[in-house]
Amino acid sequence: MITVLTGDCRDVLRTLADGSFDCIIVDPPYGETSLPWDRRVVGWPAAVRRLLKPTGSMWVFGSQRMFLECAAEFDGWKLAQDIVWEKHNGTGLFADRFRRVHEHALQFYLSDAKWGSVYKDPQYTNDARARTVRKKGRPAQWIGATGETVYRSEDGGPRLMRSVIFARSEHGRAVHPTQKPIEIVEPLLLYSCPPSGAVLDPFAGSGTVGLVAARHQRDCTLVEANEEFWPVIQDRMANDAPLFADPALSNPGPGD
Ligand SMILES: C[S@@+](CC[C@H](N)C(=O)[O-])C[C@H]1O[C@@H](n2cnc3c(N)ncnc32)[C@H](O)[C@@H]1O
């Protein structure tokens, strides 16, 4: 089920019970553009903390600048890992710097939890090339001495998804000015939210996290403060979500 709540997330989330979510995916205002709603929201990492299960984790999109300037806000959270979203084209905010074609997403878990008990489902891609891999042995004086190993990796076989993920940005087809592509949200959600689990997005924008959750039959709570985007979320959930349904999940296979 997808639930849409309207208002400032710091107020709205007070009504929800502790430990309601397996995973939180957050794309907060970075505070780096002139868009009227793009103002940093102080206090949201503390406000969402109690809503996460002890086995849960939170992905946060942002820029390096945002994370450095807001580091104190993540008190009570431990950093697990980071990924880079590589875009096909970037934002030309500054002509005197490198053209920026990436954003970060950092994964956090509760500081009083153990990483070993945090839910995770490593993601794979099927783009490995057939090749023979020969690893030299390491002599005995090295820690972790090994003998030589030779193995063949399979053509097109699965390999662990890389931490730099390419996905076309939504420029030209977006219904929200900072809309995230489904292709970047999807692996994060599948990695962190168990089947039939529940995910929270406190800064929903156009509701991309809701679309991915619906596709993979996870419950999702979306919060959005700006009334301009409420019909956008409704429209995407009503019209895009059914088109985007995962056929493997919604269509019974032969013989079923
Ligand atoms: C970066 S955008 C999210 C875009 C979204 N990931 C998507 O794919 O469409 C951040 C959103 O947070 C909303 N927002 C800003 N302050 C908020 C607040 N205090 N509570 C809830 N939403 C807020 C903005 O209106 C904006 O739509």
Say how far apart CA 3 and CA 155 lie, in whole Å. 42
At 27, list the tokens.
Answer: 């794309």
Average pLDDT over residues 163-185: 91
CA 205 – ligand 1 centroid, Å: 4
- DSSP bridge partners of 2: 220
Tell the residue nearest (CA) to atom 15 of ligand 1.
Answer: 37
In the chain, the N- to C-terminal Cα span, in Å, equals 24
pLDDT confidence of residue 256: 35
Residues 63, 239 contacting (CB under 8 angstroms)? no
Closest listed residue to residue 55, CA positions, set 28, 24, 25: 24
Phi, psi dihedral angles at 48 (to 5 degrees): -90, -15
Residues 200, 51 contacting (CB under 8 angstroms)? yes
Say how far apart CA 113 and CA 147 lie, in whole Å. 37
Cβ of 176 less than 6 Å from ligand 1: yes
Q: Up-side HSE of residue 187: CA atoms within 13 Å toward CB? A: 19
Cβ of 8 less than 6 Å from ligand 1: yes
Of the two residues 255 and 63, the one the predictor is more confident about is 63
Least confident of 80-84, 128-132, 211-215, 229-233: 128-132
Closest listed residue to residue 185, CA positions, set 80, 5, 59: 59
pLDDT confidence of residue 254: 40
Interacting residues of 211 by C-beta distance below 8 A, sequence separation 6+? 182, 236, 237, 240, 241, 244
CA 248 – ligand 1 centroid, Å: 31
Closest listed residue to residue 175, CA positions, set 247, 236, 121, 120: 236
Say how far apart CA 92 and CA 156 lie, in whole Å. 36
pTM beyond 0.85 = yes
Tell me: pLDDT of 58 over 60.
Answer: yes
- Could you tell me how many residues make up the chain? 256
Say how far apart CA 173 and CA 171 lie, in whole Å. 6
What pLDDT digit, counting tens, does each position of 190-207 carry? 999 999 999 999 999 999
What pLDDT digit, counting tens, does each position of 137-153 carry? 777 766 776 777 776 66
Residues 86, 101 contacting (CB under 8 angstroms)? yes
| Largest pairwise CA distance in the chain | 66
Instruction: Scan for tokens 């005995």, then name that residue.
Output: 140
Tell me: pLDDT of 216 over 70.
Answer: yes
DSSP-assigned letter for residue 109: E
Closest listed residue to residue 51, CA positions, set 78, 25, 83: 25
CA 7 – ligand 1 centroid, Å: 10
Cβ of 208 less than 6 Å from ligand 1: yes
**Domains, the chain, ranges and CATH?**
2-123+161-249 (3.40.50.150), 124-160 (no CATH)
- DSSP bridge partners of 149: 135
Residue 106 CB coordination number (10 Å): 18
